[in-house]
Amino acid sequence: MNAIEIQNLTKAFGSFKALKEVNLTVKKGEVHGFIGPNGAGKSTTIRILLGLLQKSSGTISLLGGDPWSDAINLHANLVYVPGDVSLWPDLTGGEIIDFLGRLHGKQDLRKRNELIKKFQLDLQKKSSTYSKGNRQKVALIAALSCDVDLYLFDEPTSGLDPLMESIFQECVAEIKSKGKTVLLSSHILSEVEALCDRVSIIREGKIVETGTLQELRHLTRTTISLSTQDTIPNLAKLAGVYDISYNNHQYRFSVEGSAINHVIKELSSVNIQSFTAEPPSLEDLFIRHYDVKVGK
């Protein structure tokens, strides 16, 4: 059974269709990245999964249940962190973490204490004095200290500094090692790249790509840098080669996945002093995907 299975999900707000026939499968035990530009429909999808919004049409199975009609049972086995956490202003961070933990019932106290140390949260302050980053920490500590099957994160690290971001990444890796499932919507593509087994890209309410990073990388280009005293014959004429620059015996260019083999053969006649190949980053992939679609 998949942790999440969404088929042909649509959501209309009045005459505006925020989701159009969305299909999304999150396998049990995977960390699934959910990326897309602002307004693409990530939060709408997640809110429907949480039973906070009702779908217009389509079918959804969440941990084997229906997020709308089985919400109470399902919520015992999942946690959620949004990107803009609001808290009870008069309670301290510590009081809120404990309250949320009791509410959920699956908080592990040892884990709670460990996370408070890791995220260096001052528990004694009223939450009205917290920065956005500190409010995120409260929600993350409360969620990550619960032992559940499914973790839903909707841009959870917005406002966290890079150090805290890397602690979040450690926590997700640990969740994954326990066989738990994570759906992570994120703006931070390096975060998705570091953590996710598979990725779905959503744009204007439609899923435009799903796959492992490896699969998605086939769609884009590898950047090659090499130094040589020779000139590379015909480089500019090779199919699938782009953005060639040459400076002080140093070549740099990008190659389509399907052309790599061919280009390497062509390079075999050249005396190369140094060579590096960088795989496309998720960011390249995302932007390229976006450009291609916009260009059409």
What is the x/- site pattern for ligand ADP, positions 44-63, by CB under 6 A? x-------------------
By CB under 6 A, residue 41 contacts ligand ADP: yes
Tokens representing 80 are 């959620």
Q: Report the half-sphere exposure of 65 (CA within 13 A, side-chain side).
A: 18
Min CB(95)–ligand ADP separation in Å: 30
Distance from C-alpha of 74 to C-alpha of 217, rounded to nearest angstrom? 35
By CB under 5 A, residue 107 contacts Mg ion: no
Q: Which is nearer to ligand ADP, 13 or 88 (CB)?
A: 13
Residues written for the chain: 296
3-state secondary structure of 39: coil
The binder of 39, among Mg ion, ligand ADP, none, by C-beta within 5 to 8 A per type, is ligand ADP
Q: Do 138 and 93 meet the contact criterion of CB atoms below 8 Å apart? A: yes
Number of residues that bind Mg ion (CB under 5 A): 2
Which of these ranges, 32-40, 128-136, 169-177, 221-229, lies near ligand ADP under the rule CB under 6 A?
32-40
**Burial annotation 131-160 (CB, 10 A radius, 16+ → b, else e):** eebbbbbbbbbbbbbbebbbbbbbbbbbbb
Among 42, 104, 112, 137, contact with ligand ADP (rule: CB under 6 A): 42
Q: Do 280 and 287 meet the contact criterion of CB atoms below 8 Å apart? A: no
Q: Which is nearer to Mg ion, 43 or 254 (CB)?
A: 43
Which of these ranges, 34-42, 62-70, 118-126, 255-263, lies near ligand ADP under the rule CB under 6 A?
34-42
By CB under 6 A, residue 177 contacts ligand ADP: no
| Secondary structure (H, E, C), 123-138 | CCCEHHHCCHHHHHHH
> Which residues of the shown chain bind ligand ADP in the complex (CB under 6 A)?
13, 16, 18, 36, 38-44
